[in-house]
């Protein structure tokens, strides 16, 4: 794509805001409202300047969660703004960003607010109530008793078998991310962790220990997105920009197991795709942005478990398959290294607040690219990628540059 074509598809990030992650015991709307107000203040705009609200849905909070766009618009005060609501599990926030981006690029609005928030249950996520024998998410709980950490453990076992990863490699990811999260005021866990701490924590799903697996959390995140023209008219000549965003689905045949499936496609009669699903998510974003992994200053990846972070190193092109352990050991993915991964502290420090998470990742990219990530700043950050994967084949990758 030409540089002119890329420029015409960029949008500006004028505001980023979050409600700290934790277990606060309040309605999720409060978290989204706080994040939205923080993002608006950061952008120097009023709620009445917003023409479009893109909400990321949560399904655990009843009717208001299913209509997140209107829920947050009502909480801010009915203003006539147009709304949308997106549900794509962990990719919900990226879909909401994509909806806002599409509307801005279509010339249908100049200013959009993207909001996601959650009040997560204690412990493991469980299926929504009722009997739904045609729902694969319900089936994997009821037929297999397979909680999310069981899938994380399967991925970890695969990594050990295929690439020779060790328990200490997994633990080293937690140690790194916990250190990164120390300086993040929005993180839930702000405490140093040692390899011994991880080794001695309880086994949840072998080989993963408690400290290898992310928690479930409450939290909220929001972004104010605008057209480039709007940003420049308001005196912001060099804003953080989003030049690429991917929400791709898998390509058949899908031969690696993913939540909530408990079988893979057969490759007997069709060749496997050029790229596995997670790799394809990042590749599509790179292609749209006109950059590659070699251009990254940092990455925010969805470390549901420590082992999954290692998979993401390869999926986003930081190294070849099988090279993640050596990359980690070299210090390249720690602050001060070649391409810090999860300088925010990642899910290891935050836990999951599902609809907010992809938005929170872009908040971190924004602060890093502005040089505002005090205590965890990546030096001379110019480009970053945020990636995660939602249930049922939802891809999520956002590239931000400055």
pLDDT digits (tens, 9 = 90+) for 176-232: 999 999 999 999 999 999 999 999 999 999 999 999 999 999 999 999 999 999 999
Cβ atoms of residues 46 and 40 within 8 Å: yes
Is the same domain home to 114 and 24? yes
pLDDT at 15: 98
Q: Are residues 187 and 335 in the same domain?
A: yes
Same domain, 350 and 226: no
Residues 160 and 173: their CA atoms lie apart, in Å, by 15
Whole-number Å distance between alpha carbons of 103 and 264: 36
User: Are residues 29 and 54 located together in one domain of the fold?
Assistant: yes
User: Do 305 and 160 share a structural domain?
Assistant: yes
- Token readout for 389 is 């994967």
Residue 131 falls inside a structural domain: no
Residue 7: predicted pLDDT: 52
Specify whether 57 is located in the same domain as 21. Answer: yes
C-alpha 389/C-alpha 357 separation (Å) is 11
287 assigned to some structural domain = yes
User: Does residue 49 lie within any of the structural domains?
Assistant: yes
The Cα 396–Cα 393 span in angstroms is 10
CATH of the domain at 29: 3.40.47.10
Q: In angstroms, what CA-CA distances link 387 with 1, 26, 134, 282, 365?
A: 22, 28, 29, 7, 11
For residue 91, being part of any structural domain is answered with yes
The answer to whether residue 130 sits within a structural domain is no
pLDDT at position 1, please?
41
**What are the residue ranges in the chain where pLDDT is below 70?**
1-8
Specify whether 42 is located in the same domain as 186. Answer: no
Task: Establish if 167 belongs to a structural domain.
Answer: yes
Q: How many domains does the chain have?
A: 2
Closest to 298 measured CA to CA, from 342, 359, 248:
342
Does one domain contain both 37 and 176? no
CB contact burial 168-178 (16+ within 10 A = b; e otherwise): ebbbbbbbbbb
- Same domain for 172 and 100? no
Domain boundary among 206, 240, 274: 240
Same domain, residue pair 387 and 250: yes
Q: Does a structural domain hold residue 233? A: yes
Strands 240-246 and 11-22: antiparallel
- Encode pLDDT of 60-108 as tens digits: 778 899 999 999 999 999 999 999 999 999 999 999 999 999 999 999 9
**What is the three-class DSSP state of 106?**
coil
Same domain assignment for residues 88 and 171: no
39 inside domain: yes
The pLDDT value given to residue 251 = 94
Domain containing residue 84: 3-123+219-240
**Positive or negative: CA dihedral 195, 351, 38, 190:** negative
């Amino acid at each position: 794509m030409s540089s002119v074509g890329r420029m015409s598809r960029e949008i500006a990030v004028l505001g980023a805001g979050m409600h700290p992650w934790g277990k606060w015991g309040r309605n999720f709307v409060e978290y989204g409202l706080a994040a939205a107000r923080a993002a608006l203040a950061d952008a120097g705009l009023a709620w009445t300047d917003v023409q479009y609200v893109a909400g990321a849905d949560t399904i655990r909070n009843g009717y208001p969660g299913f209509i997140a766009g209107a829920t947050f618009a009502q909480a801010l005060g009915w203003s006539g703004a147009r709304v949308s609501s997106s549900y794509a599990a962990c990719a919900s926030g990226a879909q909401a960003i994509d909806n806002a981006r599409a509307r801005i690029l279509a010339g249908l609005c100049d200013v959009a607010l993207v909001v996601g928030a959650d009040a997560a249950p204690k412990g493991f996520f469980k299926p929504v109530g009722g009997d739904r024998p045609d729902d694969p998410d319900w089936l994997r709980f009821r037929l297999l008793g397979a909680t999310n950490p069981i899938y994380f453990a399967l991925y970890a076992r695969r990594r050990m078998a295929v690439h020779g990863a060790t328990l200490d490699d997994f633990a080293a990811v937690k140690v790194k991310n916990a250190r990164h999260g120390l300086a993040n005021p929005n993180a839930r866990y702000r405490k140093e962790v040692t390899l011994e701490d991880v080794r001695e924590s309880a086994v949840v799903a072998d080989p993963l220990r408690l400290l290898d697996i992310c928690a479930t959390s409450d939290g909220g995140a929001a972004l104010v997105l605008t057209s480039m023209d709007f940003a420049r008219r308001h005196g912001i000549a060099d804003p953080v920009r989003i030049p690429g965003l991917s929400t791709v689905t898998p390509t058949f045949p899908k031969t690696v197991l993913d939540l909530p499936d408990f079988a893979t496609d057969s490759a007997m009669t069709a060749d496997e795709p050029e790229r596995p699903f997670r790799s394809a998510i990042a590749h599509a974003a790179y292609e749209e942005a006109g950059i590659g992994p070699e251009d990254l200053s940092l990455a925010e990846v969805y470390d549901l478990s420590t082992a999954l972070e290692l998979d993401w190193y390869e999926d986003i092109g930081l190294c070849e398959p099988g090279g993640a352990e050596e990359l980690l050991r070299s210090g390249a993915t720690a602050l001060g290294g070649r391409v810090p991964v999860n300088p925010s502290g990642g899910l290891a420090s935050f836990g999951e607040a599902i609809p907010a998470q992809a938005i929170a990742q872009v908040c971190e990219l924004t602060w890093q690219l502005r040089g505002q990530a005090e205590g965890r700043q990546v030096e001379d950050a110019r480009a970053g990628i945020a990636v995660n994967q939602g249930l049922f084949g939802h891809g999520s990758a956002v590239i931000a540059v400055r």
